[in-house]
Amino acid sequence: MMRSLQTAYSLVCRDALFRKIRGIRRVEPSLSILAPKEGARIRGGTLGRIDWKTEGLSGRSFVVLWYRLASRSDWRYVGAYPAEQDRAVWQVPSVTADALLHGEVYQPGRGWVARADVKFRIETAGRGAEGPATLKLITPRDGQTVSGGTRIPIRWKGANLGEDTRVFVYALHLDERNARWYLVGYVNAERDHVFWSAPRVRGRVALLVAAHQSGSSGWKASDRATVVVRTR
């Protein structure tokens, strides 16, 4: 009789333990970005702080961060940090634009296990909101006559060309058979001119300025003009 009571008691305790274990829910890996907050406004050209919170992680884990400006299609890498670090410092770009911060948790052996996004706005004093990229060839003017053999500045004016952008200048001798565009030169978009040695051949030459941003496909903006070259 005593043995039967002990067995029944053991079964009751075991069932209670099983119910308790079944009641414990497994916490799935998750990532929450705490700063910047959704819709926050932060100052461009400064060192900003990114805070995050993770749950359900076991073993070594890393939080990898990228950001993207609303006017751009390419992502910029911020960095990879141990998940338990909970924060990082980044260089906020000197622009005025809406932006998206994207984070993902990586675990060696498991891959990407969690992600999070937050939208915010970057505002920089003296810089208006980014609009369409534009590039306008200023000199020489369309239809202008230049002297062959002279060194002529090709100038342009650009707007909203973005970071890591170069301006390329090409020329094409329109009166030559099977003529091809050739590169005159290229500079970072912060500059506004290159020098071109006008050919010593009478004729028409087309000039093209085009901006290309690192990591993007195609030209971001362009403009062209045709000049008349005369020999001395």
**Which residue ranges make up each domain of the chain?**
28-123, 134-230
Which range (16-30, 167-181, 213-227) has the least confidence? Answer: 16-30
When pLDDT is averaged across residues 157-176 and rounded to a whole number, the result is 86
pLDDT, one tens digit per residue, over 122-154 is: 988 765 556 678 899 999 988 899 898 899 999
Q: Would you tell me how many other CB atoms lie within 10 Å of the CB of residue 54?
A: 19
Give tens-digit pLDDT for 11-49. 555 665 555 555 555 678 999 999 999 999 998 888 999
Of 197, 189, 118, nearest in space to 160 by CA:
189
CATH 2.130.10.10 fits 28-123, yes or no: no
**pTM of the predicted model as reported, rounded to 2 decimal places:** 0.52
Omega prior to 140 cis, within 30 of 0:
yes
Query: Which CATH superfamily does the domain covering 134-230 fall into?
Result: Immunoglobulins (2.60.40.10)
- Look up residue 24 and give its two tokens: 């414990």
Q: Which amino acid is at 129?
A: A
Angle at 160 between CA 154 and CA 164, to 5 degrees: 80
Q: Are 210 and 225 in contact (CB under 8 A)?
A: no
E strands in 15-130: 30-35, 41-43, 47-55, 62-69, 76-82, 87-91, 97-107, 111-123
What is d(CA 86, CA 81) in angstroms, rounded to the nearest whole number? Answer: 9
Does the CA dihedral 215-218-219-224 come out positive or negative? Answer: positive
